[in-house]
Chain A
């Protein structure tokens, strides 16, 4: 009875009695949810256009952020460092296409997946070799991102919103809007979607597979840089950031592997729910740190009812 009260009543009572704290929790959840959504978006783009389950997306975030900070440490001005990092991501995209994807065309999905794990390991080793393994500070001020915080007093409580977080959310919304416009309104975007639907049909109307792959990996690189800047501003830049890649996976499951809106909604939903669960159920009842698995278990439960995720394409199997 007491346990039922602890699980079913008390958390909600806590939420109502301290609405300002609840809002703070929701805001924190929203910000991390937006970041998960960004990483998941990188996954989705690559999966849609090449059926490659790109495990390296998480490490690309770290690599982009490390390159940016590392270049700045060597005296490159911030704006130039951003451009140079974009250049590095382009080179990476071309290299991945040339060295890894092209020889592995038509291999089973699992082989390509393993290859991206190989890329992950390579980038981890390479990044640590060049930039060192220690935690670095993101160059937030130099990039012109405001660092203060807004304080609100709703319901007589206190709600503090970091300006960097606000910038992150606004930036993510703009990035996603541009991306959706690009995918739906430009020639290249339509080509990417065509390739996602049917490789052979797309190639037969003259769409170049290799060009599209480079473009897609480059876009994923841009998203990785944006994510890296935002997340780095919150937690510092190091290979510990890699763990957020594992957070993007349940987002993909929840939203569906091919769905751009699914990635965004799934990311925000998981960000919010895991924060709420951790604060109101996890810490008092389970000893905390439930964020490592909550998203997976949630996604698993959803998948039992919808095996292709909430927004995924319906799986049609033929024999």
Chain B
């Protein structure tokens, strides 16, 4: 009923290829955007901004980057956190070398550094496939984190070895640093995430995206029909790392406020891989579902025992949390290996044909 497609006719090929073949999809997206841009920011408090809204957006952006590489181009990567780190450190260096630089410009540029590093570590993908490639990307993970720690120039030789985000203004408003309010930070992150999501949707629908999908499904066959494998794989690494780098810069500059090399360790890479897989590989919307689940779960698990009146020690709660996340991942994989995006797809199809079962 809500999703009735009767009466929506396609009269041209363009209409068939449109972004929203069903009108209700566009309406739904409008409602979601209304929530994200208007209703949530005005109803959220500081705690919700800092523990839910901002991290969900940043994590989903990182997962989106990984998903472009793993879900669309089929190159399994375990080094996302390192590429995020490159973005964050590049942004830090840019803003300290050019103090007057606009933060948006700095973040946009820092993505290019991540993309360059991503291409270098993507080169082995031309020779290596599957799990061998996954382990090869771990080389990037461990080497880069080591570099963040040992190369003192990256953190301006300060004694703590960590990078601190200074107060930064844009158009007269503080957007980063201790003086910025959560609301402005949220809008900043939301704008960047919306823009990159829009780009990603169109990239994956277009020529490059189809090239990637062909390579993912069978790279030899793709090569035989004339796809340049090198260009396809390296472009996937470049664009994916660009998005990861931007999300890394946002991660430090608009959420954490400070960063040490350990922040970008292999655990973060795995967390982002979980988000991408639980959300659904090869989908854009899935990243948001996955990030919401992974970020919200610890928060909920922290609230539930208190609400039930069962006091649990913090350490025990943390262990329980790890356990439950592990069990949930397995449950999800068994229930729906294609992720939450596929679940949504099933629900949508049921709604379209409702109330008839077929």
A296 to B124, CA, bound (A): 12
Contacts of A119 in B (CB 8 A): 326, 330
Contacts A117-B270, A304-B124; A249 near B138 (Cβ below 8 A):
yes
Say yes or no: B323 contacts A109, CB within 8 Å: no
Closest chain B residue, CB of each to CB of A113:
B131
Say yes or no: A118 contacts B315, CB within 8 Å: no
Contacts A122-B326, A125-B319, A303-B124; A109 near B131 (Cβ below 8 A):
yes
Contacts of A257 in B (CB 8 A): 131-132
Nearest-Cβ distance from residue A284 to partner chain B, whole angstroms = 13
For chain A, residues 171 to 214, give those with C-beta under 8 angstroms from any C-beta of chain B.
none
Nearest-Cβ distance from residue A97 to partner chain B, whole angstroms = 13
Q: For the complex, would chain B's binding face be called helix, strand, loop or mixed by DSSP majority?
A: helix
Check A300 for interface membership: any CB of B closer than 8 A: yes
For chain B, residues 304 to 343, give those with C-beta under 8 angstroms from any C-beta of chain A.
315-316, 319-330, 333-334, 337
A129 to B316, CA, bound (A): 6
Which residue from B135, B321, B334 sits with its C-beta under 8 Å from A299? B135
A113 to B274, CA, bound (A): 11
Contacts of B277 in A (CB 8 A): 110-111, 114
Check A62 for interface membership: any CB of B closer than 8 A: no
Check A309 for interface membership: any CB of B closer than 8 A: yes
Check B130 for interface membership: any CB of A closer than 8 A: yes
Check A24 for interface membership: any CB of B closer than 8 A: no
Check A17 for interface membership: any CB of B closer than 8 A: no
Closest chain B residue, CB of each to CB of A309:
B132
Total count of chain B residues near the partner, CB < 8 A: 47
Say yes or no: A304 contacts B127, CB within 8 Å: yes
Which residue from A108, A124, A296 sits with its C-beta under 8 Å from B326? A124
Q: For the complex, would chain A's binding face be called helix, strand, loop or mixed by DSSP majority?
A: helix
A293 to B129, CA, bound (A): 20
Interface size class of A (residues with CB under 8 A): 35 or more
Check B224 for interface membership: any CB of A closer than 8 A: yes
Which residue from A104, A110, A303, A304 sits with its C-beta under 8 Å from B76? A110
Say yes or no: B135 contacts A307, CB within 8 Å: no
Check A289 for interface membership: any CB of B closer than 8 A: yes
Say yes or no: B266 contacts A114, CB within 8 Å: no
Check A151 for interface membership: any CB of B closer than 8 A: no
Say yes or no: A111 contacts B333, CB within 8 Å: yes
Say yes or no: A104 contacts B131, CB within 8 Å: no
Which residue from B132, B149, B221, B274 sits with its C-beta under 8 Å from A303? B132
A246 to B136, CA, bound (A): 12
Say yes or no: B139 contacts A296, CB within 8 Å: yes
Given contacts A108-B337, A129-B316, A252-B135, 7 further A-B contacts (CB under 8 A): A109-B131, A111-B277, A125-B319, A129-B323, A289-B150, A304-B127, A319-B220
List chain A positions with a Cβ less than 8 A from chain B.
53, 99-100, 103-104, 107-111, 113-115, 117-126, 128-129, 133, 246, 249-250, 252-253, 257, 286-287, 289-290, 292-293, 296-297, 299-300, 303-304, 307-309, 315, 317, 319
Q: List 5 A-B contacts (CB under 8 A).
A: A113-B131, A121-B322, A133-B315, A250-B138, A300-B136
